[in-house]
């Protein structure tokens, strides 16, 4: 049984019990757990699990260095010299690539689509040099039914040709211009989590529901009812014994353990909200899971995050940026910047790569922000050769063949 099914069943059961036993509780439950919710992306982002997921993805992607690459003789190499402004300050605002990238990734996470208005191009090559991000709510696609030509309408602005708009969609759908929005596709899950959170805040807050019921066998006038209530409040505030008029009974409103289970409901729906953005996102953010977190799990979390969540954002942005770079260049995010290792593991990796000739000492030193050395441009292969030692019947070492009998 899914979390949503269990929550719905729980809510209906508690609601039915509340209607029978307590009309006040029934009113509260009806307010927050019936009718459903359909939160907007901005409302959903105020949910901690949703906002934290989008923020983690945005910070991770925008914090990665990006390089202009070119393939020469089958080998990918970074472009030397000046690169396109799209990889340094795409918005021409002085805030740099990281700020521009963060705006686009936020839109991709919250809406599944991001947009940019191409406002300047290189006069010689025609490639874009300045792209200003546009809020997804401010731009709408329009497809001419007769010609099939796509244009974009900016709210309170002009209608732009498709060539003037950069559009990246995270989850494309056949026959549709816009990609799927993760939040819109799972609006019921997010709405249920928000509803549980609101209900819990109201129900357990001292001002959110009456803490007691005063019942009278006889009908009371408004004046008498106010007087009974005043006496009760004065006595409870001063922590004194309460003396109630004859015929007035006191009943505390309490929540039994079964009805307070919605705290678990809130936790599980929050974890579900995090999983909308990728497998393992709930575990990375620290939500309770069925399995124990071991050292190996912790060590592999960055790889898990990159492989199952971040990679699709990187691929989508790299593809679009590469289409705008001149001279056969393409954009590449440095994924290794995410996979930070401890010093010992990093040194072991360098040692292995050095011995097989995959890297030279000066490249290692550059990665470690160290100056080059004169001898560091030549691979340092492993020249050690160890013979397999053989043991004779007498337990002594037997010399390898061709060694002249020396053990």
For residue 310, tell me if it sits in a domain: no
Q: How confident is the model at residue 332 (pLDDT cuts 50, 70, 90)?
A: very high
Q: What is the pLDDT of residue 26?
A: 43
Among the candidates 252, 279, 314, a domain finishes at 252
What gap in Å lies between CA 33 and CA 41, rounded to an integer? 20
Provide the domain count of the chain: 2
Q: What is the pLDDT of residue 18?
A: 40
For residue 314, tell me if it sits in a domain: no
For residue 36, tell me if it sits in a domain: no
For residue 357, tell me if it sits in a domain: yes
Cα of first residue to Cα of last residue in the chain, in angstroms, is: 69
Question: Can you give the residue range of the structural domain that contains 402?
Answer: 341-407
Among the candidates 187, 221, 252, a domain finishes at 252
Please say if the pLDDT value at position 21 is more than 50: no
For residue 304, tell me if it sits in a domain: no
- What is the four-CA torsion angle of 338, 342, 343, 348, rounded to 10 degrees? -90
Task: Record the tokens describing residue 350, joined without a space.
Answer: 């360098």
Q: What is the pLDDT of residue 324?
A: 95
Q: How many CB atoms lie within 10 A of CB 398?
A: 14
For residue 194, tell me if it sits in a domain: no
Among the candidates 252, 276, 305, a domain finishes at 252
Of 9-23, 125-139, 222-236, which one has max mean pLDDT?
Answer: 125-139
Indicate the DSSP class of residue 87. Answer: G
pLDDT tens-place string over residues 40-67: 777 777 777 888 899 999 999 999 999 9
**Averaged over 194-199, what is the pLDDT?**
66
pLDDT tens-place string over residues 133-154: 999 999 999 999 999 999 999 9
Q: How confident is the model at residue 392 (pLDDT cuts 50, 70, 90)?
A: low
Burial 333-366 (b: 16+ CB within 10 A, else e): beeeebeeeeeeeeeeebeeebeeeebbbbbbee
What are the angstrom distances between the C-alpha of 148 and each of 3, 145, 171, 363, 403? 43, 5, 22, 52, 81
Containing 168, the helix (H) or strand (E) segment is strand 165-169
**Averaged over 215-243, what is the pLDDT?**
74
Report the mean per-residue pLDDT for the chain.
76
For residue 364, tell me if it sits in a domain: yes
For residue 324, tell me if it sits in a domain: no
Nearest Cα residue to 227 out of 239, 238, 214, 240: 214
């Amino acid at each position: 049984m899914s979390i949503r099914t269990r929550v719905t069943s729980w809510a209906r059961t508690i609601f039915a019990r509340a209607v029978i036993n307590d009309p006040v509780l029934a009113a509260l439950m009806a307010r927050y757990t019936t009718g459903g919710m359909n939160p907007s992306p901005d409302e959903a982002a105020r949910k901690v699990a949703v906002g934290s997921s989008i923020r983690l993805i945005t910070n991770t992607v925008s914090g990665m260095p990006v390089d202009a690459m070119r393939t020469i003789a089958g080998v990918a190499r970074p472009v030397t010299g000046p690169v396109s402004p799209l990889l340094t300050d795409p918005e021409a605002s002085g805030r740099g690539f990281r700020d521009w990238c963060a705006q686009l990734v936020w839109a991709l996470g919250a809406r599944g689509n991001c947009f940019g208005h191409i406002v300047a191009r290189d006069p010689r090559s025609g490639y874009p040099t300045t792209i200003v991000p546009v809020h997804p709510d401010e731009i709408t696609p329009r497809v001419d039914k007769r010609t099939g030509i796509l244009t974009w309408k900016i709210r309170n602005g002009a209608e732009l040709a498709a060539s003037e708009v950069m559009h990246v969609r995270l989850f494309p759908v056949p026959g549709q211009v816009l990609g799927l929005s993760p939040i819109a596709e799972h609006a019921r899950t997010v709405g249920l989590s928000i509803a549980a959170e609101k209900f819990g805040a109201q129900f357990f807050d001292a001002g959110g529901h009456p803490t007691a019921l005063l019942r009278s066998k006889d009908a009371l006038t408004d004046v008498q009812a106010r007087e009974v209530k005043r006496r009760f409040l004065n006595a409870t505030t001063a922590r004194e014994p309460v003396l109630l008029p004859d015929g007035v009974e006191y009943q505390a409103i309490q929540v039994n353990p079964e009805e307070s289970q919605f705290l678990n409901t809130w936790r599980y729906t929050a974890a579900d909200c995090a999983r909308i953005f990728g497998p393992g996102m709930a575990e990375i953010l620290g939500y309770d899971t069925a399995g124990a977190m071991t050292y190996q799990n912790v060590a592999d979390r960055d790889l898990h995050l990159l492989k199952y969540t971040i990679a699709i954002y990187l691929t989508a942005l790299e593809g679009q940026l590469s289409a705008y770079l001149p001279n056969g260049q393409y954009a590449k995010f440095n994924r290794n910047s995410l996979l930070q290792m401890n010093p010992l593991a990093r040194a072991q990796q360098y040692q292995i790569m050095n011995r097989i000739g995959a890297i030279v000492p000066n490249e290692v030193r550059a990665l470690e922000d160290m100056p080059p050395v004169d001898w560091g441009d030549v691979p340092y292969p492993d020249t050690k050769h160890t013979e397999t030692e053989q043991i004779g019947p007498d337990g002594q070492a037997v010399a390898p063949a061709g060694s002249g009998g020396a053990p």
